[in-house]
Amino acid sequence: MLEGTASAKLVAMAEGPLVSTQWLAEHLNDPGVRVLDCRWYLRPFDMRNGDDEYARAHIPGAVHARWDTDLADPDRPDLWMLAGPDRFAAAMAERGIGDDAFVVAYDDQHVTVAARVWWALRVYGHTAAAVLDGGITKWQAEGRPTDDSVPRHPRAKFTPRYNPSLYATHSDVLDAVGAATRLVDGRMAGARAADGGAIPGSIAAPGIEFTGADGTWASPQEARRRLAAAGANPPEPTIAYCRGGVGACGTALAYAVAGCDDVAVYDGSWTEWITDPEAPRAMDA
């Protein structure tokens, strides 16, 4: 789809699943680039509102989208599942994100919501996507410009092309327990302890732990080292999960940084898993 287009050239120039603040600064006015502000906060741990933060200051030209409403299935509000193809495509089109756009998603490292949007785009076949390394936090720390105006990009055409290999269902995970597929728990240690259980056979590799104090992601070599230390052995079939499908996307991004970009995410994650009384649990998380 992108072969020979301006977006294809941008993909070739980008730094894997990440782009640096310098890269974005150099390409910010490129008509083929769309910047997507994904900021969102998990209450009661952080009482800020992503909509308000966007309105206050964002990277120039960036549009805003919330993973839990704009890009979520309204029929599954209990789980914040990924929106269906028509709803997702409409949300992208309304924001001027079309088939030929190179999308740079960013957050501020509170939780890995930019990774969630990066994963969602790829689920729907839009591989011309990256996460801003260090997010808006690094952007502002470097004194780069921000804006408070809402851009009005022309409506675009976004064609969803579902890639089932990146999306794991409850049934997929049931089949993976005890099989050759690697299950990876993306919850932080405190969340795992509070939840009191895990999916049997899973290893722990929270994606956000692959970021440093400045919010930038580990190098490919370091990401590979940390995954190996956690018990991963890529390439191998892998499904990541967490509590609600966001942290697991951070884990998938960490794998992609390490060179393995085919990790599936269990969208329902632990929140859905525990609603099934027949789903096995390991109680020593």
pLDDT of amino acid 195: 95
242 counts as catalytic: yes
One domain for residues 74 and 124: yes
Residues 18, 142 share a domain: yes
Domain co-membership, 78 together with 181: no
Residue span of the structural domain in which 91 resides: 6-162
pLDDT in the model for residue 86: 98
Q: Are residues 235 and 214 in the same domain?
A: yes
- Is 279 inside a domain boundary? no
pLDDT above 90 for 229: yes
116 & 235 share domain = no
Identify whether residues 172 and 137 lie together within a single domain: no
Question: Same domain, yes or no, for 155 and 172?
Answer: no
DSSP assignment, residue 151? P
Instruction: Spell out the alpha helix ranges (H) of the chain.
Output: 6-13, 21-27, 50-56, 85-94, 113-123, 135-141, 170-176, 189-195, 220-230, 247-257, 269-273
Cα 21 from Cα 219, distance rounded (Å): 16
268: CATH: 3.40.250.10
Per-residue pLDDT tens for 76-130? Answer: 888 899 999 999 999 999 999 999 999 999 999 888 999 999 999 999 999 999 9
Amino acid identity of residue 67, one-letter, is: W
* Per-residue pLDDT band at 230 (split at 50, 70, 90): very high
> In the listed set 162, 180, 215, which residue is the last one of a domain according to the structure?
162
Q: pLDDT digit string (tens) for 156-198?
A: 999 999 999 999 999 999 999 999 999 999 999 999 999 999 9
| Statement to judge: residues 10 and 151 lie in one domain | yes
User: Are residue 245 and residue 202 in the same domain, yes or no?
Assistant: yes
48, pLDDT greater than 90: no
Q: Which of 107, 134, 162 is the last residue of a domain?
A: 162
Q: Check whether residue 211 and residue 237 sit in a common domain.
A: yes
Q: Is residue 278 part of a domain?
A: no
For residue 200, whether the previous peptide bond is cis, meaning omega lies within 30 degrees of 0, is: no
Helix axes 113-123, 247-257, angle to 10 degrees: 70
Identify the DSSP state of 264: E
Six token digits for residue 244: 């609600």
Q: What is the mean pLDDT of the chain?
A: 93
In a domain, 88, yes or no: yes
- The pLDDT, as a whole number, for residue 16 is 78
Listing DSSP states for 47-73 in one string gives ---HHHHHHH-B-TT-EE--TTTTTB-
Number of independent structural domains in the chain: 2
Structural domain ending residue among the three candidates 112, 137, 162: 162
Is residue 12 over pLDDT 70?
Answer: no
Residues 158 and 186 in one domain: no
- Band (pLDDT 50/70/90 cuts) for residue 15 is low
